[in-house]
């Protein structure tokens, strides 16, 4: 069996760099907030939060007045 590895370089334009920064910032924020919410629910109620419940929370966060910026980047990440 032969194992291969490929290395790619990515040279984004300034506009792409801005979009990537927004996307990565939103992903980091959502991950950390969801993790905090899951930990809180476990420590207070000994209950796990499902993926579907996390999705509903994310929808609420996107509609919140303080976090409207979450709806700006692509929905994929």
pLDDT tens figures, 7-43: 999 999 999 999 999 999 999 999 999 999 999 999 9
CA-closest candidate to residue 70, choices 28, 39, 13:
28
Global pTM? 0.80
Confidence of residue 52 (pLDDT cuts 50, 70, 90): very high
């Amino acid at each position: 069996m032969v194992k291969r590895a490929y290395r790619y370089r990515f040279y984004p334009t300034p506009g792409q760099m801005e979009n990537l920064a927004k996307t990565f910032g939103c992903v980091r924020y959502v991950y950390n907030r969801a993790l905090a919410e899951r930990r809180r629910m476990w420590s207070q109620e000994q209950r796990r939060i499902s993926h579907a419940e996390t999705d509903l929370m994310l929808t609420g966060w996107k509609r919140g007045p303080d976090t409207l910026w979450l709806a700006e980047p692509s929905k994929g990440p």
